[in-house]
Structure 1
Amino acid sequence: MSDWRHVRTARLWLDEPVEGDADDLFAIHSDPASWAHFPAGRVTDPAAGPVMVGASRRRFDRDGLAYWSVRDADGGPVVGRGGCAVPDEALAADPTGRGWWNLYYRFDQQFLGRGYATEMGAAAIEAAHEVAPERPVLAYLVEHNHASRRTVDKLGLRLVWRGPDADDPDAEAVRLVYLDREPDEELVAALAGEGMGPAGLVG
C-alpha cells in the first residue's frame, strides 16, 4: 500500500498538513471570493486553521487518507486544500459503517484557472480507490458553481442526485451530488439521511 500522506504530481506537492500551514489554510477559507457560490460557508474564526490541520492528521491516522495542503513549489506557501476524506457524519449515516470519500478542493483565488483542482482531484481519486475501493467517491456542489462542475466532469464523476440544498440559506439553491459509480441501496439510504431522498436520484 502506498503512503498517501505525501504525493507529488506533475506540478503539485500534496502533503499531510502541518501546524505551519494553519494561517494559509485560514486565509484561503476566509476569503469571501472563495465562497462566492456559497457565502454562508465562509470561515471567520482563525481557530479554524489549526482545526483543519488536526482534522486531516486525525483522518490520515484513522483512514489512511485525508485532505492535503497543496503547494505548487517545494517548500512554498499553501495554495489550496483538497483531497478525499471520510467525513465523520458519513460513517454515522451509512448503515454499513462503510461511509464514503468526500472529494473536496478550495484554492487561493490567484491560482484559479490553472487546472490545479483537476490535477489534485485525479490524485485524490486514485488514492481513494487504492486505500478503500469499497467506499464511493462523492462530490457535493451547488448547481450554479459551473467551474466546480467542469472539474468533476473532467475527473469522470457522474451526476446522481439533484435537489434542494438544505444547508444553504438561499432557498433557491440547488445541490448536485456526483459519484464515481452507480449508487447502491445502502448509499441511497445514507444520502437520504443527509437530507437527499431517493426520489432525487437520477439514473
Structure 2
Amino acid sequence: MKESIETERLILRALLFSDLDGMFELDSNPNVHVFVGKKPVQSKEESLAQIKNIQQQYQDFGTGRCAVVLKETNEFLGWSGIKFITNEINDYKGFYEIGYRFIEKYWGKGYATEAGKAFVEYAFNVMKVDALYAYADAGNENSRRILEKLGLRYVNSFDYEDELQVWYELKNPDL
C-alpha cells in the first residue's frame, strides 16, 4: 500500500520497523491469540520477522496488513488490511482476505469495524478486486460480528489447522 488511508479516528498505513514495540505488545499477549493458533510470540525478533514478511507482501502483491494508528495520539492500535493469500484455504487459492488484530486494551471501541470499512472500500474501488474473503475461529463471536458489520456473509464451516473455522465472503457490487 503506497498511500495511507484516513478515517474519522484512524490512520491506516504501511507497517514500519518503528511499529516493532506495538507489534510485540500485540502478538505476545496470549489473550490476543486465543482464536488465532494459541501461539503468542516470545521475542521482538519474531515480531520483526513478521513486519519484514508483511513488507515483502507489499512488494510482491501491492497489498498487505497495515498499521492502524489513532489519529489523535499516533498510538499503534494493531493491524488491519487486505492480504493476498497464495496457499489453499477452504478450497480457495489466490484470493484477497480482509483481516484485523488489535492490542487488547483497544478491543470493543469500534476500531476494527472502522478500519475494515475503509479497507473494503479500498479493495473494491481502488484495487478493483472481485471479492473479499475472511475466516475466523467458529467460536470467535466478536470477530464474526465485525465481519458481518463489514457486509461479509457466512458461507460455510471448515477445519483448518485442527480448528473449526467459519468462511465469509463479500462480492464487489460494482463488478
> How far, CA to CA, are the matches of 1:154 and 1:59 in structure 2?
27
Classify 1:38/1:66 alpha carbon distance in 2 versus 1 (closer, same or farther; 3 Å). closer
Relative to the length of structure 2, the TM-score reads: 0.85
Say if 1:32 and 1:39, in contact at 8 Å, map to a contact too.
no
Shift of 1:50: 1.6
Say if 2:80 and 2:100, in contact at 8 Å, map to a contact too.
yes
Q: Deviations over 1:29-73 (max 9, x none)?
A: 110111223452423342222222222222223322211111113
Say if 1:5 and 1:65, in contact at 8 Å, map to a contact too.
no
Matched, 1:166 2:160: yes
Higher strand proportion (structure 1 or 2): 2
Match of 2:112 in 1: 117
Say if 2:132 and 2:170, in contact at 8 Å, map to a contact too.
yes
> How far, CA to CA, are the matches of 2:134 and 2:150 in structure 1?
11
Say if 1:86 and 1:100, in contact at 8 Å, map to a contact too.
yes
> How far, CA to CA, are the matches of 2:170 and 2:146 in structure 1?
13
Shift of 1:14: 0.8
Specify the structure having the higher radius of gyration (Cα): 1
Unaligned stretches of 5+ in structure 1? 183-203
> How far, CA to CA, are the matches of 1:15 and 1:38 in structure 2?
23
> How far, CA to CA, are the matches of 1:128 and 1:51 in structure 2?
26
Say if 2:69 and 2:78, in contact at 8 Å, map to a contact too.
yes
> How far, CA to CA, are the matches of 2:82 and 2:44 in structure 1?
23
> How far, CA to CA, are the matches of 1:125 and 1:78 in structure 2?
21
Classify 1:89/1:5 alpha carbon distance in 2 versus 1 (closer, same or farther; 3 Å). farther
> How far, CA to CA, are the matches of 2:115 and 2:167 in structure 1?
19
Q: Deviations over 1:116-143 (max 9, x none)?
A: 0001111111122234434431111111
Matched, 1:33 2:31: yes
> How far, CA to CA, are the matches of 1:76 and 1:132 in structure 2?
27
Counting matched residue pairs gives: 171
Higher helix proportion (structure 1 or 2): 1
Q: Is 104-113 or 135-144 further displaced after alignment?
A: 135-144
AA matched with 2:137: V
Match of 1:190 in 2: none
Supply the RMSD in Å over aligned alpha carbons. Answer: 2.4
> How far, CA to CA, are the matches of 1:41 and 1:138 in structure 2?
23
Q: Which runs of 4+ in 1 moved over 4 A?
A: none
> How far, CA to CA, are the matches of 2:50 and 2:30 in structure 1?
18
Shift of 1:24: 1.1
> How far, CA to CA, are the matches of 2:56 and 2:20 in structure 1?
15
Alignment of 1:33-52 (within 5 A): 33-52=31-50
AA matched with 2:38: A
Relative to the length of structure 1, the TM-score reads: 0.74
Percent identity over the alignment is 26
Say if 1:82 and 1:104, in contact at 8 Å, map to a contact too.
yes
Match of 2:79 in 1: 81
